[in-house]
Amino acid sequence: MRRVLRIVLVILLLLLIYVAVGTFLFPVWWYPILVEHHLSFAYVVDGFAGAARIYYLAFFQTLIIVLTVVLVSRTHMSKKLRTWTASVWKGTTFFWMSAALGMFLLILIIVGASGLDERTREDRDLEVRLEQARLNMNKLDAEIEKSQEEAKRLVPLTIPTNFLYLDKDAADSLYGQYEPDLVPALVMEELQESSELKGKISINDYITTEAGKKELSSKMTEYRSVVKNPERKLKDLVIYLYDKNKFITFRDIQPKSETLAELDKAIRMLEQKHELKVDAAKLQTARAKFLSQELELTESQLRALKGLTLVEGTWVVSIQNGTLTLDRPFVDVVPNSPKCEVQIRTSDISPRDLEIISKLPTKSMHLSVFGNALMGVTDTSRTVLLKPVAIW
């Protein structure tokens, strides 16, 4: 029984030594156990595995100790050591020594545990920041994936569209200018999406083969042989230019500020649900404050604006002296926002569409206008004049 008790005491002392040393050498790992009282089998196993990875030299250290013991056992000191250890093990000295060592180790553990909070604060703060960074990265990845999916849905003219206005000569002219690059690009995209190639080989690798060259040439000949009306030409042209970033697009600016998003939501509820009116001037001032970064970016883009442009959103429509005018601010509900203006002759619009426009109760329409920007904003003018190629 005494032998069993001695073995138990040795095991307890070894555990105390392990904890005492750990609180000083590995405070970050011991903090959850001793301070937060978080203990699980998986956490302990992970800790031992980490220690094993770090102290892979422990084997060699143990080997050195064993060799030292063997060497000592062959000297005259071995008999004295055996006599002393036997007397300690069998006598009461062992228990007193165990008690003294145990008390010393407990004091070490208490001292070590009391300082864990201070000694691990920087590491714990770093872990929190790293975890937050990981969460932010996951959130950013999700937002990027979502924006990519939304971008696919926002590609203009990918669905059948009713054109309010189409300058057929301008559409034919643009198509003719881009046709040498447009046709191969469209055919290659069609080939890449085919069931035979999808997920197996890239289109660039395929068209270097004899079969690929032959199929590409055949598809291009087939595409060019099909008679296309101006609407079809414009559709293919706009999709190609959009994919190649050949024109700039302006849409409704989505507020990045959560406060502004909540403000817009509250205003919609007040106006739609409770039929209350909000002070327009104060609302514009508040929105301008929250949208300052978006306004600066839009301003810089509009000052350098030229060439093909697509503007989408809600336009104010007016008809006067045989001219239909479309006006749209680039940033909604802010004071002195730059605006886009489009003018076309009413004679270029079908009588049916004119009748519908004249009966609009709000005199506004959600439209996409594709055309050439004649002039960006300047110090003296806040209006961008857009010469339309198509309106839908």
Mind listing the domains of the chain with CATH numbers? Answer: 2-114 (no CATH), 165-246 (no CATH), 255-290 (no CATH), 301-391 (2.40.50.110)
pLDDT value, residue 340 = 93
Q: 359 is written with which tokens?
A: 């009966």
pLDDT tens digits along 183-197: 888 888 888 776 565
pLDDT value, residue 243 = 86
> What pTM was computed for the model?
0.54
Q: Of the ranges 99-103, 150-154, 354-358, which is most confident?
A: 354-358
Q: How confident is the model at residue 323 (pLDDT cuts 50, 70, 90)?
A: very high
Write phi, then psi, for 353 (nearest 5 degrees).
-65, -40
Of residues 291 and 138, more confidently modeled = 138
Q: How confident is the model at residue 386 (pLDDT cuts 50, 70, 90)?
A: very high
pLDDT tens digits along 249-277: 988 765 555 555 565 666 666 566 656 56
Position 163 pLDDT exceeds 70: yes
Of residues 230 and 87, more confidently modeled = 230
Q: Of the ranges 24-28, 273-277, 282-286, which is most confident?
A: 24-28
pLDDT value, residue 388 = 96
pLDDT value, residue 70 = 62
Of residues 174 and 34, more confidently modeled = 174
pLDDT value, residue 124 = 77
Position 64 pLDDT exceeds 70: no
pLDDT value, residue 42 = 75
Position 278 pLDDT exceeds 70: no
Angle at 173 between CA 172 and CA 179, to 5 degrees: 80
Position 57 pLDDT exceeds 60: no
Position 151 pLDDT exceeds 60: no
pLDDT mean over 70-76: 61
Task: Please state whether beta strands 364-375 and 339-345 pair in parallel, antiparallel, or not at all (unpaired).
Answer: unpaired
pLDDT value, residue 384 = 92
pLDDT tens digits along 27-53: 777 778 777 777 777 777 777 666 665
pLDDT mean over 206-223: 86
For CA atoms 323, 329, 330, 336, give the dihedral sign. positive
Residue 51 exposed, middle or buried by CB count within 10 Å (0-12, 13-18, 19+) = middle
Sequence-ordered alpha helix ranges (H) in the chain: 2-25, 27-34, 41-54, 58-73, 77-90, 93-114, 116-153, 168-192, 203-206, 210-225, 230-243, 258-272, 280-290, 292-303, 351-358
Of residues 104 and 177, more confidently modeled = 177
